[in-house]
Amino acid sequence: MHRYLALAAFIALALGGGTLIGLSTQPDGWYAALNKPAFNPPNSVFGPVWSVLYVMIGVAGWLVWQRDWRSHMMAAWAAQLALNFMWTPVFFGLHAPAVALAVIVALLIVILAFIARGWRRDRAAALLFVPYAAWVGFATLLNAAIVYLN
């Protein structure tokens, strides 16, 4: 039972934290006025995609925690979550897309390091981060395009 409470806690942390930050820092008139690239998806896409990814992030963290909560992978998991939670307030709250670009590049590096380190140690956790890496790679390109266009 303890294992499943821990799983619920990891999912609640990732999904709940991401949802809370997203709801407290909504796109506003500033964002609407920015020039965006043609490949910018509608705002309605982001919530569902991030919800699925946050569940996967929570499960991956739980898997790593079960194996060794003091590992480098666990540290990378915590670092990526901190960077992930930092990006939205920097971009939407501070209206600082260039600073947010630095945050998201760091986030992508940590995600890729998590996948690389986990590939042999915890393949399931690493695989759960592959769609996350793809989405953050796309988001990094989108962030960079917004910086360039504005």
Question: What is the reported pTM?
Answer: 0.95
Q: What is the pLDDT of residue 69?
A: 85
Residue 26: per-residue pLDDT = 85
Q: Which residue has the tokens 């986990």?
A: 118
Query: What pLDDT is stored for residue 49 in this prediction?
Result: 97
CA distance linking residue 128 with residue 147, whole number of Å? 29
Q: How confident is the prediction along the chain (150 residues), in pLDDT tens digits per residue?
A: 799 999 999 999 999 999 999 999 988 999 999 999 999 999 999 999 999 999 999 999 999 999 988 899 999 999 999 999 999 999 999 999 999 999 999 999 999 999 999 999 999 999 999 999 999 999 999 999 999 999
Token readout for 122 is 């915890």
Q: Locate 49 and state its tokens.
A: 């995609």
CA 52 to each of CA 39, 70, 75: distance values in angstroms, whole numbers, following the listed order: 21, 26, 22
* pLDDT, tens only, 97-141: 999 999 999 999 999 999 999 999 999 999 999 999 999 999 999
